[in-house]
Amino acid sequence: MKTEFLKGLGLEQDVIDKIMAENGKDIAAEKAKTTKAEGERDNYKNQLATATESLEKFKDVDPTAMQSEIDKLTQQLKDKDAEYAAKEADRIFSDTLKEAIKSAGGRNEKSVMALLDMDALKTSKNQSEDIKKALETVKESDAYLFGADEPFSNAVGVTGGTGSGRDDNLSAIRAAMGLPAKKD
């Protein structure tokens, strides 16, 4: 709308200015909407260009080959999980066995373990009880691999401290050398 058109209708300048100000607000609002729509359009164009560029990379890809590769990698992952679970089970079994040998008084874990049927113990339903039974069997047949339950009763001599025999020996040595007796 133009000012000359409103003057031609016989309106006063004050009314024309108010009408033009209101019309300017409407025009500004519509321009803002247009600018926003153009920005969104440009954004969508950029997204489309990026998506098209990304799709071009997969243009020559064979979906069957890709699926077989995914299946192969999934199987490898399952195999690794199974391998890890088996190693963890072996470690737990080994720790349990070593602890049982130690608590049974075994002197050498490797020697005791060599006499056990490891495969049967690993596949056993009740491992702890079967390990105890197997260790008892080995303890009966090869007692030398296990520590004695009885205390030492045949000490060889004075093992330290201030025993009377030590002082007597020292006095005898001093006398043999012609030294006077030690004064306390």
Across the range 103-119, mean pLDDT stands at: 88
Question: For position 41, what pLDDT does the model report?
Answer: 95
Report d(CA 157, CA 165) in Å as an integer: 10
pLDDT of residue 167: 66
Contact 171, 182 (CB under 8 A): yes
Residue 30: predicted pLDDT: 92
pLDDT, residue 171, reads 81
**Alpha-carbon span 55 to 7, nearest angstrom:** 60
Instruction: Output the pLDDT for position 83.
Output: 95
Model confidence pLDDT, tens digit, residues 128-178 = 889 999 999 988 888 888 876 666 666 666 655 555 555 677 888 888 888
- In this predicted model, what pLDDT tens digit does every residue of 38-47 receive, in sequence order? 999 999 999 9
52: amino acid identity, one letter? T
Read off the pLDDT of residues 49-85 as tens digits, 9 standing for 90 and up: 999 998 888 888 788 888 999 999 999 999 999 999 9
Mind listing the pLDDT tens digit for each residue in 19-37? 898 998 999 999 999 999 9
The answer to whether the beta carbons of residues 30 and 37 sit under 8 Å apart is no
Please give the pLDDT value at position 71.
94
Using CA atoms, how far apart are residues 23 and 19, in angstroms rounded to an integer?
Answer: 6
pLDDT bracket for residue 106 (50, 70, 90):
confident
Every domain of the chain and the residues it spans: 3-57, 64-145
Provide the 3-class DSSP secondary structure of residue 106.
Answer: strand
pLDDT band for 91, please (50, 70, 90 cuts): very high
